[in-house]
Amino acid sequence: IAGITQAPTSQILAAGRRMTLRCTQDMRHNAMYWYRQDLGLGLRLIHYSNTAGTTGKGEVPDGYSVSRANTDDFPLTLASAVPSQTSVYFCASSDSGRVGTDTQYFGPGTRLTVL
């Protein structure tokens, strides 16, 4: 069992280009999340999805879009990348079947640099 995988591991991108970060989980978790981590700011939620077919905005959604066509995949798209989107991006998933068990499990991250 792989858990959560993210691709690519790292990427250098020219400003204005479109980029999709991939996230796949094999735990059949119903909820998935995208965070970004910047030095001194901790992790901030970008978008989330409670279940396949639904998405919601987090704390810092501007400039990002997501889709959730199935349970396993939750891609994050930057339509036109800007340097301020340089960050480390983490995908997470959780199974909220029982109260108190909404523990989020994180992927290894994607390091994105926008020049």
Residues in touch with another protein (CB under 8 A): 4, 30-31, 33, 35, 40, 42-43, 45, 48, 50, 56, 58-59, 90, 92, 94, 96, 99-109
Nearer to another protein, 10 or 84 (CB): 10
- Whether the ω angle into residue 108 lies within 30 degrees of 0, i.e. cis, is no
In whole angstroms, the minimum distance from the beta carbon of 9 to another protein comes to 11
Nearer to another protein, 16 or 53 (CB): 53
Residue type at 20 in one-letter notation: T
Q: Mark residue 63 as left, alpha or beta (left: phi above 0; alpha: psi -120 to 50; beta: remaining).
A: left
**Token match 């991108």: residue?**
13
